[in-house]
Amino acid sequence: MHFRILTVLLLILAMDAMAENNASSTTYGKELQIVGKLDIGPCMDAAVCGNRAYFIGQEKLYLADISEPAHPRITGTLAGLGNTRQIVVARDVAYVSSRADGLFVISVKDSTAPKLLCHYDSIEWATGLAISGDILFIACRNFGVELVDISNPQKPRHLSTVRTGEAQSVVARNEWLYSGVWGTSEIVVTDIHNPRRPHITSRVPLDGYGDGVDVRGNFLYAATGHHSRAPHKTDNDPGFGCGHGLEIFDISDPAKPVFVSRVKFPKLYQLGNDMWGVTISGKYAFVADTYNGIFVVDVSDPRKPFFVAHRQLPLFNSGKLPRIRPNGEIEPLKQQPSGSSQNLPGFVGGLALAQNYIYAAGGWTDLHIIAAPDLACPPTVEINTPPLIPPLQAEKEQGYRRYRPDGQVYAVGSLGDSGVAACGISGIHVIQIWPKIKPLATYSTDDFATDICVLNNMVFVAEGTAGLSIWETSPAGELKITGRYHVKGQRVRHVVVPPPGKYALVQVGEGTLHIVDISNPTLPKFVLKDSHLGLLYGNQIMNGSIDNRYAAVFWHASGLYWYDLYGGSTPVYTGQIHENRFNPQNGVTVFKNQVLTTRRSGYVVFDRQEKRSLDELPLYRIKNHPLAGKTTIFQNRLYTANRDGGNVNVVDISNPSSPQLLESFVTEGNPGRIIANQKGFIVPDGYNGLLVYDRTR
């Protein structure tokens, strides 16, 4: 009897399990079949134009003939494109965003021989892309969206920036721009009738982190992910991992989208890759949702969307998972410890549509060909009125003097009454600052000049793939190169040389520190490499050193790490860490042989030996005025410059516990670390140029 009861119970459980499996397979529609792959390895995005397809991944662009959509045939490739992320193609030109490596512009007129036209220096990490007329829109993560004139693809020109927040992807139509914004979970709507003066008209909440957007007819479609707006701090909270889905808005009034409906995808929260995209074709929405795979949603009635099909990508090396290094690279696979998540599907980076087929870019795997008969077809082109670029009007300089090169000014170092500036694609510029601005000399660089440090008569320049260049100045202010530190296959992005100047602290790639012996500037030598959880978004090396001996660097996700430069024969990591999460906007500098760092809209001051969490230290603020940004201190004045928000502050810290605001303003550009002296202060302000503020107080 007991055996029969047990058998019945097991049968009931099995039937329940089968019903649950059947329900899960039908909830999201039929399962589409993968019918092939391209064997190109990890692929991040795809685009289709006519009988051609374009795929990106592992620093390469692939061109393919898709006359037979089920069998794409590679016709040409181009390498050296950095950390590729998204691709758009217009008028036989491909635009490839490559995160911290900027934007690559490629002629694809000859499908067998793609040709690099230029490498554009985007204001920040180039992520999402859209084109309307002669304007390219680049979602630059924390800095918002950059508008770029591409009427001459060989020489793109910066037009303006919209400070949307952490933009991931964008779409532009009829003089309106819609941005999917990540952590704040919103669509940001921007009026771009005058692309030199775009302005935000509304912010529309999403029930999930924002990313992919598309527009069709009078409707806007937004792909979302991660967490919903319900509480989601822990995995037991109702909103944790529940932000995945597709949301539809009525844009009959383009300035003010109105929520219409949404569908939700399976609950999921997996770190390492967080991108979600949507493409509308006919009556279907094709949504790429990383590990959840691809969903096809019928949106013929936008008020009542429903699932018709889905497909996850194959398991990535079943039983094994890759670890994502702090710099975004994938670590070689090792067997994971028991109990870890197994059988994770490969993630979808992006997708493109051909007739009856979906090309799914597998970020860990390959370009997968998914059969979608009677569903997939290339989207038709809708009528679009692009914005026109008005002539550049002379701007009145208010309260400052300006020097504006072609490239963006990242950083400046002092040479007495002159300055030497890192000007991106324009190289190195030497400029007379006082009594009036006068260009003195220009030196070309092999890659973008993104940082500069001056100590005594030496100039150190971060030159991307060309490494760290070391220059000597003459009494007349001329520069002569003396040496170079090169890191094969990596970009050098930032440099700090604390006195007395034997060692340079160098940011390599997106998350690695190198300490380099420059005592012989003609033969710089590597002495230490370190990386930790998080990224070095920029200027996260402490400005100066403690006791002329201890240097520090913060990784945004893990904390401030200390290095002893002169305690032994070579520099070492001391083992000390202030284990706090830092906002990449913030800065750290030396103040009276202590450390001052901006955080939580104010600043804290602490000793290197401090054992308490920074959250336990006194936080000094200015009432009703937040402080953030990279820090400089000169004669008891604290200067902060926030590159993503444009905010500049000058604060009297004679009494550090009672800061007094002296000046505050917002620039048109992206202000970097300020240089100050008795005569005034200098702001490197990106494409807005070099701003000189003469001392008036």
pLDDT band of residue 255 (cuts 50, 70, 90) is: very high
Predicted pLDDT at 273: 87
- pLDDT, residue 336, reads 35
Q: Which residues contact 522 (CB under 8 A, 6 or more apart)?
A: 482, 483
Q: Is the pLDDT of residue 185 over 50?
A: yes
In whole angstroms, what separates CA 387 from the centre of its chain?
A: 26
**Rounded mean pLDDT of 445-469?**
96
Of the chain, the end-to-end C-alpha distance in Å amounts to 96
Whole-angstrom distance, CA of residue 672 vs CA of residue 423: 12
15 occurs within a structural domain: no
Whether 182 and 284 share a structural domain: yes
Q: Classify residue 378: in a domain, yes or no.
A: no
pLDDT of residue 317: 63
Are residues 77 and 151 part of one domain? Answer: yes
In terms of DSSP bridges, do strands 284-288 and 33-37 run parallel, antiparallel, or are they unpaired?
unpaired
Please report the pLDDT score of residue 271 as a whole number: 80
Quickly state the pLDDT bin for 538 (edges 50, 70, 90).
confident
Q: Please return the burial class of 331, using the count of CB atoms within 10 Å of its CB with bins 0-12, 13-18 and 19+.
A: exposed
Instruction: Locate 76 and state its tokens.
Output: 């040409």
Residues of the chain with pLDDT > 90, as a percent, come to 85
Token match 């300490």: residue? 515
Same domain, 430 and 355: no
- Cis peptide preceding 524, ω within 30 of 0: no
Residue 190 inside a domain? The answer is: yes
Return phi, psi of residue 5, to 5°: -60, -45
The residue segments making up the domain with residue 429 are 401-694
As for how many domains the chain has, the answer is 2
Contact 643, 630 (CB under 8 A): yes
Backbone phi, psi, residue 434, to 5°: -120, 140
220 and 306 together in one domain: yes
pLDDT band for position 696 (cuts 50, 70, 90): low
* Domain limit, last residue, from 349, 371, 393: 371
Residue 483 has pLDDT above 80, yes or no: yes
Question: pLDDT digits over 104-153, tens only?
Answer: 999 999 999 999 999 999 999 999 999 999 999 999 988 999 999 999 99
Q: Judge if 362 and 429 occupy the same domain.
A: no
Residues β-bridged to residue 430: 420, 441
The pLDDT tens digits of the residues spanning 404-448 come to: 999 999 999 999 899 999 999 999 999 999 999 999 999 999 999
Beta strand pairing call for 306-311 and 30-31: parallel
The per-residue pLDDT for 15 is 34
Please determine, for residue 222, whether its predicted confidence score (pLDDT) is greater than 60. Answer: yes
When pLDDT is cut at 50, 70 and 90, the band that residue 333 belongs to is very low
Residue 359 sits in the same domain as residue 489: no
For residues 646 and 163, is the Cβ–Cβ distance under 8 A?
Answer: yes
Structure tokens at 527: 């002495």
Strand partners, 226: none
Q: How far is CA 141 from the centre of its chain?
A: 4
Co-location of 174 and 288 in the same domain: yes
**DSSP annotation of 408:** -
Angle 88-100-58 (CA atoms, 0-180°, nearest 5)? 65
Q: Does the pTM exceed 0.85?
A: yes
What pLDDT sits at residue 208? 97
The answer on pLDDT for 27 being more than 90 is: no
Mean pLDDT of 192-199: 97
Token pair of 509, please? Answer: 């790639």
- Mean of the per-residue pLDDT values of the chain: 91
**pLDDT for position 108:** 98
Q: What is the pLDDT of residue 13?
A: 32
Query: Per-residue pLDDT for 7 more than 80?
Result: no
Q: Is the pLDDT of residue 16 over 60?
A: no
pLDDT in tens, 382-401: 999 999 999 988 777 778 99
Instruction: Tell me whether residue 550 is in a domain.
Output: yes
Is 49 a residue whose pLDDT tops 90?
A: yes
Q: Whole-angstrom Cα distance, residue 12 to residue 21? A: 14
pLDDT at site 272:
79
pLDDT band at 687 (very low <50, low <70, confident <90, very high): very high
pLDDT on residue 2 = 43
Output the pLDDT for position 695. 82
Q: Which residue has the tokens 């992206």?
A: 670
Distance CA(326)–CA(328), nearest Å, equals 5
497-515 residue pLDDT tens: 999 999 999 999 989 999 9
CA distance 297 to 23: 17
| Torsion, CA 663, CA 664, CA 665, CA 671, rounded to 10 | 100
The yes-or-no verdict on residue 581 having pLDDT over 90 is no
- Whether 434 and 299 map to the same domain: the answer is no
> Does 394 fall in a domain?
no
Residue 9 is assigned to a structural domain of this protein? no
Are residue 236 and residue 131 in the same domain, yes or no? yes
Residue 553 pairs in a beta bridge with 541, 561
How much of the chain, in percent, has pLDDT values that exceed 70?
Answer: 92
Q: Is the pLDDT of residue 564 over 70?
A: yes
Could you give the CA distance from residue 364 to residue 358 in angstroms, rounded to a whole number?
18
CATH of the domain at 569: 2.130.10.10
Tell me the pLDDT tens digit for each residue of 340-361: 344 678 999 999 999 999 999 9
pLDDT at 343: 64
Q: In 3-state terms, the chain is what percent helix, strand and coil (to 5)? A: 5, 45, 50
Model pLDDT, residue 223: 98
Let me know whether 144 and 279 are in one domain: yes
Query: Phi/psi at 504 (nearest 5 deg)?
Result: -110, 135
Q: Is residue 380 part of a domain?
A: no
* Statement to judge: residues 250 and 115 lie in one domain: yes
Burial of 75 per CB tally in 10 Å (0-12, 13-18, 19+): middle
| Residue 5 within any structural domain of the chain | no
Burial class (CB in 10 A: 0-12, 13-18, 19+), 328: middle
- Count the residues in the chain: 697
pLDDT of residue 322: 43
CA distances from residue 102 to 129, 272, 340, 405, 667 in whole angstroms, order as listed: 12, 21, 35, 19, 22
Q: How confident is the model at residue 26 (pLDDT cuts 50, 70, 90)?
A: low
Q: Is the same domain home to 356 and 445?
A: no
| 501, two tokens | 């100047």
